[in-house]
Chain A
Amino acid sequence: MQLKISLAAATIISAMAVHAEDYVSVQYLQYNENSNRTAVSAPSLIVNKDFGTDYTLNVNIVSDTVSGASEAWYDSASGASAFSRGTGVNASDVKYGNVAYSDERIAGGVVLTTRMSNRDELTIGGNYSREHDFDSKEVSGEYMHWLDSSKNSSLSFGASYQFNEVLVRIDDTTSGASATTVSNDDDDDDDGESGASEVYDADALTLQLSYFQNLNAQSYFKIAAFYIADSGYLTNPYMNVVRNYNEVTNKADVLGENRPDSRVAYGLSLKYANALTDNISAHIGYRYYSDDWEIDSHTLDSDLYYELGDDWVFKVGLRYYTQSQAKFYNASKDYFTDEVYASSDQRLSSFDAITYKSDVEYFISDALSVNFSANYYEQSTDLKATYFMTGATYRF
């Protein structure tokens, strides 16, 4: 063998094309909360296909049917509705409880990945989501650059922009509120005032920079820094707060909540995966999040896979989450007076949450597998939920 440091100019280096597998997967999600709160049934479909050596197309579609109730403040004298609002209502009628709602959502996305001659990847995607009162359009792009010729480390930069529209107009009067669904065609007047004929916009910009590194033949890690900026109408039109509670007169105002029109967040996420043995793989991830509503959170997520023979794959997982509350959040009846920003939405409160996950996948053949997963989610608020997923994947 001649020792030669040659870069073999005539060698065609198309290098290791990371061919995605071609597959079709259908999945069904059933999600249920305690106390007859939200229930969701959602079937979905995903198709992933290579075209030649340089292109991969991924198409997904999901349809959710949401029903049940969510908790909010309301004036029970006007009925259990999020729009049972008004000024000077009897304080004893002000309740925090389940208000019914239902919705259907359909969402779909297309993602195209293009591989360059050096096998860097450019991914471009579009996503559309529609509910009766909410419309979201998103465009995203990501570029992945290999840092070494062995393709063991890479740097990626991605950005996405969402154009969101809240399609409901809330008309507040002294004796209550009414909601009307508006269409996208209404005048885009966006001064945030209710009572006008308008569609409320909210845009979101996300940026992410990530570094990936194979540590050895059994493990890798990934670290990412992200930035998210929301602006526009970020208030939830169905959520209420109680203001000006007066013990003496026994009166209070039940009014719609109000959130700032901007939210800036940044965070860091770390992922590590290790094939502990030939048939056991462990994944662990940590994410830190912080925004200017003073919400900070930590997420620790872990999964353990066990392969039994050629036909079975079992997974168990545990996720721990903790967040601090938003600076304008308060759950009490007698807290808010004339603060500009106020919300009693439990999702902005401080709480911990834990998820217990399990999953089973059975390979009917090399190409066809079926899966079933059972998961339990519990927050230190009184929210408990179970969700099941089942489906099949066919690789071709």
Chain B
Amino acid sequence: MKAAVASLLLITNLLAYNQGDTINDSMASHLGMKSDKLYVVDFFASWCSSCKKELPLVSKINKGLDTNSVEIIGIDVDKDVSKGMKFQEKLKSEGSLTFRVINDPQNLIISEFQPIGMPTLYYIKNRKVMKIITGAVDEIDRVILRDIKEME
């Protein structure tokens, strides 16, 4: 039994987007990655309490970003779209969600990325995964700003 679970994990890891991997054409187009900007993809959900704490911080730094070179894209993986939208509306009204969001209710996008935790941030440039940050991180806003500077 344990061997089966381990094999499954290994296989799904092979199908994941890890650092250094290239996002395929259809995914890149689906996410609207048209240019050679640095894209920061943020996977979140209404039920993820770590995400609730992270989103306002990510939104805060989004305001100061040069949209010609960096863009943040949120992916809401709520299976119930209305629940997800309600969550997004509430955050927007508080100024805690300032970037565009793609709804992924069937979890097709996240299943390709296969992050090992929630929330997860993927830094993607020229369709290549530069860096992945998984889980709650202290002062994530500072971390992202530092990373963006390094990647420019």
Contacts and interface: CB of A to CB of B under 8 A. Distances in A.
Contact of A19 (B53, B131, B132, B138): B53
Contacts of A10: 19, 131
Given A16-B118, A17-B136, A150-B116, A5 B14 contact: yes
Contacts of A216: none
Nearest to A153: B5
A150 B90 CA distance: 30
Most buried by A among B24, B133, B134, B137: B134
A364 interface: no
A5 B135 contact: no
A366 B94 CA distance: 15
Contacts of A189: none
Contacts of B138: 52-54
Interface in A1-55: 1-6, 8, 10-17, 19-21, 50, 52-54
B132 A8 contact: yes
B53 A6 contact: no
A52 B10 CA distance: 32
B135 A16 contact: yes
Interface residues of B, number: 29
B9 interface: yes
B13 interface: yes
A13 B19 CA distance: 12
Contacts of A16: 50, 116-118, 134-135
A11 B50 CA distance: 18
A8 B117 contact: no
B20 interface: yes
A4 B24 CA distance: 14
A8 B19 contact: yes
A279 B19 CA distance: 39
A54 B137 CA distance: 9
Interface of A: 1-6, 8, 10-17, 19-21, 50, 52-54, 119, 149-151, 366
14 contacts: A1-B15, A5-B10, A6-B18, A11-B133, A13-B116, A13-B135, A14-B136, A14-B137, A15-B134, A17-B135, A21-B49, A52-B138, A54-B138, A150-B116
